[in-house]
């Protein structure tokens, strides 16, 4: 571990959790030690803690439930010290981004959007998943009339509904750190994902970056969830807002290496912002 020098500026880092888990999820328990190994000092705070304002850099990590307090969360991340901009939040928090990615040539899971007042053209012949475009409330609908009932419930709340087929294929989560492929995992653990799945994830990330006028490297961490195998894979979700990165799915050696990559990516962010440990010395 690098020893801290008292005469050298050390940026104050905060990993942002949520009110329920201000110290983050157990999956992220090794982040503070990994950053410390690079001489970076970090602590956890909830995203709604006023002390965030004193940090040099805030990295949103475990922000589950932000959609229920979206206006407050948006005001917090508007601060210049937060590593998440409002344009990314506005775009990625609304799952209609899947349609935009599809328009940009990314194979995605078929998605029907129904604004309040809209209806399905016909009763689904197979089970579907119905949920709001923003926030929680997704349900699997298997019985006749269940989809229309849940759509109506969402519409009565003034919410846009999304309808997707219920997929039985396994999902693969592809993790990117600073735009580079890092590791992949499923519900069963770490996997060596086929290159075609990585290509799909990278295409989705590049398309999102183009839409948000940035580069894939501009996202500290991203997670693309794909379903289906090589040649038939489709994007189910792209998470740019504090995604769970599946560190615990990796074996100890792989986890240590990927955590080091994360810490190095944070170092690069600090350098670009003029906040590197040697950027300026304390008097």
pLDDT digits (tens, 9 = 90+) for 231-247: 899 999 999 999 999 99
Are residues 81 and 56 in contact, defined by beta-carbon separation less than 8 angstroms? Answer: yes
pLDDT of 3 reads 46
Q: CA dihedral defined by 84, 6, 282, 41, rounded to 10 degrees?
A: 0
How many C-beta neighbours within 10 Å does residue 210 have?
12
pLDDT of 125 reads 78
pLDDT in tens, 154-205: 999 999 999 999 998 889 999 999 999 999 999 999 999 999 999 999 999 9
Query: Can you tell me whether residue 231 is helix, strand or coil?
Result: coil
What predicted TM-score, i.e. pTM, was given to this entire model?
0.92
> What average pLDDT does the segment 147-159 reach?
92
pLDDT of 277 reads 60
**Residues 185, 191, 192, 193: is their CA dihedral positive or negative?**
negative
- Residue bearing tokens 């039985």: 168
**140 has pLDDT over 70:** yes
pLDDT of 100 reads 98
33: nearest Cα among 13, 53, 51: 13
Those residues with Cβ within 8 angstroms of residue 89's Cβ, 6 or more apart along the chain or in another chain: 73, 74, 77, 241
């Amino acid at each position: 571990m690098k020893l801290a020098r008292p005469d050298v500026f050390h940026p104050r880092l905060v990993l942002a959790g949520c009110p329920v888990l201000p110290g983050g999820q157990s999956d992220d328990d090794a982040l503070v030690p990994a950053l410390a190994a690079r001489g970076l000092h970090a602590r956890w705070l909830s995203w709604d803690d006023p002390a965030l304002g004193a940090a040099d850099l805030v990295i949103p990590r475990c922000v589950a439930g932000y959609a229920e307090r979206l206006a407050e969360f948006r005001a917090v991340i508007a601060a210049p010290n937060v590593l998440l901009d409002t344009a990314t939040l506005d775009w990625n928090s609304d799952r209609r981004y899947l349609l935009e990615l599809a328009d940009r040539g990314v194979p995605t899971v078929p998605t029907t959007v129904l604004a309040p007042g809209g209806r399905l053209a016909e009763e689904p012949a197979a089970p579907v998943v119905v949920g709001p475009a923003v926030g929680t409330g997704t349900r699997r609908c298997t019985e006749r009339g269940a989809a229309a009932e849940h759509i109506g419930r969402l519409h009565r709340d003034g919410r846009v509904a999304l309808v997707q087929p219920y997929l039985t294929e396994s999902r693969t989560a592809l993790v990117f750190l600073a735009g580079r492929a890092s590791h992949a995992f499923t519900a069963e653990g770490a996997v060596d994902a086929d290159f075609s799945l990585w290509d799909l994830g990278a295409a989705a990330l590049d398309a999102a970056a183009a839409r948000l006028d940035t580069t894939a490297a501009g996202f500290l961490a991203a997670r693309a969830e794909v379903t289906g195998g090589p040649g038939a894979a489709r994007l189910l979700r792209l998470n740019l807002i504090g995604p769970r990165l599946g560190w615990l799915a990796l074996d100890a050696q792989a986890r240590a290496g990927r955590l080091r990559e994360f810490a190095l990516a944070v170092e690069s962010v600090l350098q670009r912002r003029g906040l590197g440990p040697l950027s300026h010395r304390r008097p």
